[in-house]
Amino acid sequence: MRFAFGMIAALLLAVSLGGCRSHYSWHQKLTLVVETPQGTRSGSSVVRVDVLYGQLPLMAGDTETFVTGEAAIVDLGQGKYLFALLMAEDDGGLNGTVRLAEYTWRDQITGHGKERLSQIANLKGVRELPRKYYPLLVTFKNINDPETIEQVNPDDLENSFGPGYSLKSITLEVTKEPVTTGVVEKLLPCLKMKKECISNKDVFPFDTTNRIKRRVLNIYFRRNRI
């Protein structure tokens, strides 16, 4: 009897997954342009966002989201790198990455639920990312030592890199380009290991009134859908 009940429960779950939920997916390209003493440098990364929409039993919400891809990197030369993480500057999680397109094209997103997700997946063009939705920017004093991570103020790159450095723009595009893979691992090979190699470093926000410490985990540099 117990076995039969388990089989029925598994069947019901499979039906709910296959029949009651809609799947929406899009690729979004984040590009950073930085002014340096040696000229303009840029870097970009394409990530995939997957959204499963539809209420399931025992679930509090009606959406489940996944991110596949990696941080965008700008090689500034002389061993200096700027990383735009899969982590919003103000919310400390992957949700900021999932909702970047929705936030950036807010004036065009008029629907709700399935209609909203369909509109996001079919967006066109390139837009400058509003400052309030910037990803968390970080660098490493020594790229060979993950413990030297520190936050970068997008409004003051000179504080991290020296005179002549400034962030010119961050843009977002919903694109058909393939997901970026393997670039981050070349600079941070420790990410290939299963254990966290950066998580024990606290990164503080620049707003001194906010005393919440942020934990920078491996998944904010590289995230694969499980």
* Residue 114 pLDDT exceeds 80: yes
Mean pLDDT of the chain: 83
pLDDT digits (tens, 9 = 90+) for 87-108: 887 765 678 888 899 999 999 9
DSSP state of 148: G
Model confidence at 171: pLDDT above 90: yes
d(C-alpha 106, C-alpha 32), whole Å:
21
On whether the CB atoms of residues 130 and 82 are closer than 8 A, the answer is no
> What is the mean predicted confidence (pLDDT) over 120-126?
93
Cβ–Cβ < 8 Å for 99, 92? no
Average pLDDT over residues 138-151: 90
Contacts of 83 (CB under 8 A, 6+ apart): 71, 72, 73, 137, 138, 139, 184, 221
Please calculate the CA angle 106-112-117 and round it to the nearest 5 degrees.
70
